[in-house]
Structure 1
Amino acid sequence: MKNRLKNGIAIALIPQIVLVKVLGANPQFIETYYSEGIYPWISKFFRWMFGWVPFSVGDILYFLLIFFAFRYLIVNRKYIKNHIKLFFRDVIMVLSTAYFTFHLLWGFNYYRQPIAEKLGLPESHTQNELIDLIEKLTAQTNALQLKITRDSIQPVQIPYTKREIFGKTIEGYQKLEKSLPFLAYDRPSIKTSLFSTGLAYMGYGGYLNPFTNESQVNGRLPNFRFPVVAGHEIGHQIGYSAENETNFIGYLVTAYNNDPYFQYSASAYALGYCLSEIKRRDEAVFEQLYTQLHPGVQGNFREMAEFWRQFENPLEPVFKSIFDSFLKANSQAAGIKSYNAVVSLLVNYHKENPL
């Protein structure tokens, strides 16, 4: 590639950033022309292209990119040392190309209309409203746990394989589509990640590859949590980028499922976020509410805590800090804390749609 072209691509990074911020300042424009305009066609094309492949093409792509990047640095280390300016120009050129491709294929969804506006939901809630929802979720979760196990002491063990969970999640989307058509999902492309152990050490339950539009779920996750995370990652795939929104979508599609194991997974998931929110606000109220859970439900919560505890390592905070910065750079001011913002969506949705 000629130097003039390389220089042009590298310099183009600056106007690209400006253009993205200008367009992103108009969520309705993004919603109409990108998220509900060209993006569904882009997404369906890539899901058609890679959905049938039984393994993650995106994982392999990332592995090859990292491998060849390190190989290039090692093989060309002397040239890089002697031509440091050209090397940095090439790095910026690669970043410019990746930035363009990322936003074209998926990234503009960060600037779309919030799902709360689409559903006509407020963006805040009171502590009394939160406590009311926790009490209802507690009753529902306890009832489902007892229905499944017939013993309030026993944690729920979801008996399905990961592939079966994917199939039931897709069925859940088909049912959810009837009441919320904008969450329609076809031509599935959802898989367990080839690097699930690595994701676990990084503290991630899954991710969407924006370049292949494959939803990846951490295959190491306990089945207790797997259905909601699968629904969450498909939520990204159909064009919702904000983590609180895909948490909400993952909850809805799992709760709408006819399967009692899925209903339990969804109810416990929502309850966990709500309890975490009340614990942050008032520890004494949290303790009082937590004791109302069946021992089996508490056992499932301990199962998740123990799962993540076994993968704790010194680098996990670094990975989360990087992701936090990435989210903040893409119109999610709360960063990684945006996951917890699902509580307002849950409270206000169930005010309109009582449990």
Structure 2
Amino acid sequence: MIKNKKLWVVLLIIPMYIVVKLATNYPETVEVIYSKGIYPYIAKLFRYTLGWIPFSIGDVFLGFSIIYAIRWLILNFKRIWKDTVNWLLDVGATVSIIFIAFQLLWGLNYHRVALHKTLDLEDDYSTQQLIEVTKQLIKKSNALHLDIVKNDSIKVVLPFTRSEILELTPTSYDVLKNDFPELAYHPKSLKKSLFSYPQAYMGFAGYFNPLTHEAQVNYLIPVYKYPTTSAHEVAHQLGYAKENEANFIAFLATISNQNMYYKYSGYTFGLRHCLGEVYRRDPDLYDILLADINKGIIKNFQESRQFWLKYMNPLEPFFRSTYTTYLKANNQSKGMDSYSYVVALLVNYLENKTL
């Protein structure tokens, strides 16, 4: 009887898989019924329940799960040959439960209507459009930089601790919700990750736990990157699962903040994405545009780059490949390259705006 129950649990993954495949073809239905219907209640329930706890329950759960999984594999290693069917049922039931929970609690958001359609924006742009928006971002970033440090060669140092930034990040969404009511963020559940060192070696600045709805930020990353990274994870909490869309919302949130340090972090975040796309299309033009950027801004960019270089290791390509596979499995066909599509949102949103 127990074995049959396990088999039924394993088989439940099939209808859930079918639902996910159907969701891919009906984004409007997902948007209305799940992303704007059921999901906000799920998200708030978890944030009310766990958000007040000062440390990440998800990280604690993950740590114990890893220890338990290793222990279970060691103790049940011989069963792979001696009791293969039941061993596979145990593993399959676990995978099925995790997959179903992931999809129902958050994962279906990967299949909602694309953000550019919601905002009535184009999803492509010309090189000329890219250049014009990049120039706008350079001008705005330079102005903010000089307002803060009064010297174009000094990098910006944010006058906040990482904990203070986590407390201040919701204020960005308080302003943003005036134009985008669906981005109202309350209560919060934004925390430092207990696994920041492993994340740094894996190349991750933060992550959202879909099973506890906590947003975790790597406490090792430069403070300069904290506003946009924390805002990015909040966007995931609000149901924007795709990385490029979460990046764009992080940009909007930080530039909406009244604090000039947040604005600086947001505008230079957008600038860096656009510069990367300019370099991909025209390296010579990239060098010309780079010369117009204040040296202090370049130093902030270098600060971030040097941080990640410090944690480079032989396993990083494996982690990137694994994450790319995850993204492709969740309706982001370009994998890690999906991040670059934030530029399409930036260009089309900013093209006719005065910064």
TM-score with structure 2 setting the length: 0.98
1: CA distance, partners of 2:170 / 2:315: 34
Measure how far apart 1:79 and its partner are.
Answer: 3.3
Match of 1:228 in 2: 228
The answer to whether residue 31 in structure 2 is matched with residue 31 in structure 1 is yes
Q: Take 1:89 and 1:65, find their aligned partners in 2: how far apart are those partners?
A: 18
**1:159 matched residue in structure 2:** 159
Is the 2:232–2:250 Cα contact (8 Å) retained in structure 1?
yes
Alignment of 1:138-149 (within 5 A): 138-149=138-149
Q: How far 1:352 moved relative to its partner?
A: 4.1
Q: Distance in 2 between matches of 1:195 and 1:346?
A: 32
Distance 1:11 1:201 in 2: 36
Structure 1 Cα separation of the partners of residues 352 and 278 of structure 2: 21
Deviations 1:137-189 (A, max 9, x none): 11111111111111111000011011211222101100100111111111000
The equivalent of 2:70 in structure 1 is: 70
Considering only aligned residues, what root-mean-square deviation do their CA atoms show, in Å? 1.0
SS at match of 1:160: coil
Are 2:194 and 1:200 equivalent residues in the alignment? no
Residue 252 of structure 1 corresponds to which residue in structure 2?
A: 252
Q: Structure 2: how far apart are the matches of 1:111 and 1:264?
A: 32
Q: Is the 8 A contact 2:153 2:295 kept in 1?
A: yes
The whole-number CA distance in structure 2 between the counterparts of 1:353 and 1:184 is 23
Contact 2:132 2:351 in 1 (8 A): no
1:21 is matched with which residue? 21
Matched, 1:122 2:122: yes
Report matched runs for 1:39-118 at 5 Å: 39-118=39-118
Please report how far the alpha carbon of residue 336 of structure 1 lies from its aligned counterpart in structure 2 after TM superposition. 1.0
Shift of residue 251, structure 1, vs aligned partner:
0.6
1:61 maps to amino acid = F
Q: Structure 1 residues 83-92 or 301-310, which shifts more?
A: 83-92
Q: Distance in 2 between matches of 1:98 and 1:246?
A: 23
> Which position in structure 1 is the counterpart of 2:287?
287
Q: Distance in 2 between matches of 1:294 and 1:79?
A: 63
> Per-residue deviation at 1:242?
0.7
Q: Alignment partner of 2:216: what SS?
A: strand
Q: How far did 1:264 drift?
A: 0.6
SS in structure 2 of the partner of residue 244 of structure 1: helix
> Is 1:240 matched up with 2:233?
no
Paired residues in the alignment total: 355
Over the matched positions of the two proteins, sequence identity in percent amounts to 40
C-alpha distance after superposition, 1:276-298 (max 9, x if no partner): 00000111000000011111111
For residues 5-38 of structure 1, the C-alpha deviation after alignment (integer angstroms, 9 at most, x for no partner) is 1011112222321221013310010000000001
> Quick one: distance in 1 between partners of 2:19 and 2:167?
40
Q: Tell me, yes or no, if the aligned pair for 2:3 and 2:86 is still in contact at 8 Å.
A: no
Deviations 1:201-220 (A, max 9, x none): 10011111000000011111
Q: What is the DSSP-based 3-state SS (H/G/I as helix, E as strand, rest coil) of the residue aligned with 2:224?
A: coil
Task: List gaps (5 residues or longer) in structure 1.
Answer: none
3-state SS in 1 of match to 2:351: helix
2:191 partner SS: strand
Give the match's secondary structure for 2:108.
Answer: helix
Q: Is the 8 A contact 2:208 2:237 kept in 1?
A: yes
1:274 paired residue number: 274
- 1:75 is displaced (CA, Å) by 2.0
1:307-318 to structure 2, matched below 5 A, reads 307-318=307-318
Give the whole-Å Cα distance in 2 for the aligned partners of 1:148 and 1:284.
30
Q: Secondary structure at the match of 2:43?
A: helix
2:265 match: 265
Q: Report the more deviating stretch, 79-88 or 308-317.
A: 79-88
- Amino acid of the structure 2 residue aligned with 1:325: T
TM-score by structure 1 length?
A: 0.98
Amino acid at match of 1:272: R
Tell me the alpha carbon deviations over residues 213-256 of structure 1, each in whole angstroms, 9 at most, x when there is no partner: 00011111101111001000000000000110000001110000
